[in-house]
Structure 1
Amino acid sequence: MGSLEGKVAVVTGGGRGIGASIVRRFAAEGAAVVVNDLGATADGQGGDAGPADQVVKEVVAAGGRAIADGGDVADTATGQRLIDTAVSEFGKLDILVNVAGILRDRMIFNLSEEDWDAVIRVHLKGHYSTVRPAAQYFREQRNPDANYRIINFSSVSGLDGSPGQPNYAAAKMGVIGLTYSLAQSLAKYGVTANSISPGAATRLTGTVPDEKRANFRNEEDPSRSPDNIAPLALYLASDRSRWLTGRTLRASGYDVGLYNNPEVIRQLSSTGPWDQERLADLIEGNFRSVADGLPPSVFARQLGRN
């Protein structure tokens, strides 16, 4: 018996890349899967039902259960339909995985409003589109002992601040904030919420210029396969992960990591309003040495201020 036997999952962006790998792995472990994929280009243009249909055909041919949906996940009607389809076709919903995304890379000074809005729409609104009806369903079950799962997808682009992806970075850090909120608000309904920051050679990374994607240049390298992300997603979807919520994890190649959550690491306090010069002196005397020792100090080095 597979670790997801009897479970029902919805996976967005499930027609290609990381999403398709997750669909295949979930189905092989016994889950019935609603596979959503608009089939658009990497920058979100057009649509093609083929990718979702093809993955479903593979799953069914292997003896699994799956159904395709070619809707735009950033359309809230699509999000509602995916959850309704899971319940009507397979009887319930246990797992929601939000993978769908696009890229429109520009430096911030060259980034059009259209390209900003398009990326934010697919990533952030696309998560909202499915999470809201899924959360409503989970809440209606009134089962605090359930093992419901929400798995969102963030990116090292946001966590590290990719300079040529301000729209994508902002959206992916927004996903982390959403995940924190869901972990707190839905825990009493038996729901865990976590996010994955993946590293793999995919159709999207293939659009990044070679000089900016050295780690993904050799797409034939098995360590760069999207299939390497699926084991972490499978664990987070399983009953064993009940203890883990509100966290971001990294899967890249054959490495899996756990990110820390933001926290105050040093604090200054005053008994009244700050004198500006005193505050400046204390910040520099107490914060600078700590900040310079942290990874983000790379930003200060870019300005030659370290």
Structure 2
Amino acid sequence: MSSIRFDGRVAIVTGAGGGLGRHYALDLAARGAKVVVNDLGGARDGTGQSDAALAVVEEIRAAGGEAIANGGDVADYEQMAAMVAEAKARWGGVHILINNAGVLRDKTFAKMTPEDFAFVVRVHLLGTALTTKACWDTFREQNYGRVLMTSSSSGLFGNFGQANYGAAKLGIAGLTRTLAIEGARHDIRVNTIAPTAGTRMTEDLFPEAAFAAFAPEKVAPGALYLVSEDAPTNVILGAGAGAFQAAYITLTPGMLLSGDDLSPEGVAAHWDAIVDRSGEIVPRSGAEQAMSIAALLPS
């Protein structure tokens, strides 16, 4: 098994002042990458600021690595563009982006304010899109880029009290799929990780024993593989406690309805056949859904 290294690569990790992002940054630096440690330094709900990023930079430097701190807001495009420009001026390029920054404002949808919904979507979805956009032209010019997005089981499968978070996280998975297609000809590989980890974000959700079992360092190997030179693209990887799983968005063969069956009553009558998962496929693009429908039409 050959060693995965990042010598000569420059990586940006957002939300890297603690938890998963800190481990990503430390592990990338230990394997040769020069790292921009980005963190606004706020509390779990996004309020306040701190020097969390600088503390991680000091850890990296103490271990013999190279890193700089950045306190920019991921949802502010100008700040993200400036961060990329600083990295390029210092090290000549940017090759890896891990979009990890996030906040939580959990409440049931009935009690959630529009402001709390918008804020969480802004940080997660818009922040991911804008930070990636700030790197995108550089990746295209280099004909090389590795992007890791952070989704969640709450987005992929739903979770009580996380309508804002889940909506943003599934949106990120959708963004990944399109960017993986658009980036392919420039060797820009874009993947999604859905981590389950004991961090500051989840410390009140895990029992103590489980919190230790789901340590963030047990997620980091999957993240680093997905930003390596030989990484796949357009993958959704679940990761937690040292276990790794692939998640898929699938499509059943379905059923063509016509005549009297082309009605709400017909859909109801044929529901079991429509949702039958025998022979389901994993489309590689949205166009494949239209193609699968066309295959059902009479020739």
TM-score (norm 2): 0.87
1:229 aligned residue (219, 222, 238): 219
Q: Deviations over 1:166-215 (max 9, x none)?
A: 00000000010000011000111110000100011100112x4xxxx3xx
Distance in 2 (alpha carbons) for counterparts of 1:128 and 1:275: 40
Q: 1:36 to 1:272 in 2, by over 3 A?
A: farther
Q: 1:8 is aligned with what amino acid? A: V
Pairing 1:1-306 to 2, within 5 Å after superposition: 3-48=5-50, 50-141=51-142, 143=143, 146=144, 148-206=145-203, 208=204, 213=205, 216-218=206-208, 222-241=212-231, 244-260=232-248, 262-271=249-258, 274-283=262-271, 285-287=272-274
SS in 1 for 2:132: helix
Q: 1:289 to 1:191 in 2, by over 3 A?
A: closer
Count of aligned positions: 275
**Contact 1:78/1:129 (<8 A) preserved:** no
SS in 2 for 1:204: coil
**Contact 2:197/2:211 (<8 A) preserved:** no
Distance in 2 (alpha carbons) for counterparts of 1:270 and 1:44: 49
**Contact 1:22/1:234 (<8 A) preserved:** yes
In structure 2, the partner of 1:304 is none
In structure 1, the partner of 2:289 is none
**Contact 2:17/2:55 (<8 A) preserved:** yes
**Contact 1:36/1:71 (<8 A) preserved:** yes
Instruction: Tell me which moved more, 77-86 or 197-206.
Output: 77-86
Residue 254 of structure 1: CA displacement? Answer: 1.3
Residue 272 of structure 1: CA displacement? Answer: 6.0
Q: 1:219 to 1:118 in 2, by over 3 A?
A: farther
Percent identity over paired residues: 39
Instruction: Tell me which moved more, 86-95 or 173-182.
Output: 86-95
Residue 245 of structure 1: CA displacement? Answer: 0.8
Q: 1:117 to 1:63 in 2, by over 3 A?
A: same
Residue 287 of structure 1: CA displacement? Answer: 3.8
Q: 1:232 is aligned with what amino acid? A: G
Q: Deviations over 1:29-84 (max 9, x none)?
A: 00000110000010000111x11000001101111000001121111112212211
**Contact 2:252/2:275 (<8 A) preserved:** no
Distance in 2 (alpha carbons) for counterparts of 1:271 and 1:287: 14
Distance in 1 (alpha carbons) for counterparts of 2:275 and 2:186: 43
RMSD: 1.9
Residue 90 of structure 1: CA displacement? Answer: 1.1
**Contact 2:16/2:25 (<8 A) preserved:** yes
SS in 2 for 1:46: coil
Q: Deviations over 1:117-155 (max 9, x none)?
A: 1100100111012111211111223x3xx3x20001011
Instruction: Tell me which moved more, 183-192 or 72-81.
Output: 72-81
Residue 219 of structure 1: CA displacement? Answer: 6.0
| Structure 2: gaps (5+ residues) | 279-299
Q: More helix per residue: 1 or 2?
A: 1
Q: 2:9 is aligned with what amino acid? A: K
SS in 1 for 2:270: helix
Q: 1:171 is aligned with what amino acid? A: A
Q: 1:229 is aligned with what amino acid? A: V
Residue 240 of structure 1: CA displacement? Answer: 2.3
Instruction: Tell me which moved more, 118-127 or 68-77.
Output: 68-77
**Contact 1:201/1:219 (<8 A) preserved:** no
In structure 2, the partner of 1:299 is none
Q: 2:121 is aligned with what amino acid? A: I
Distance in 2 (alpha carbons) for counterparts of 1:138 and 1:36: 19
Q: 1:110 to 1:236 in 2, by over 3 A?
A: same
TM-score (norm 1): 0.85
**Contact 2:102/2:124 (<8 A) preserved:** yes
**Contact 1:6/1:31 (<8 A) preserved:** yes
| Structure 1: gaps (5+ residues) | 292-306
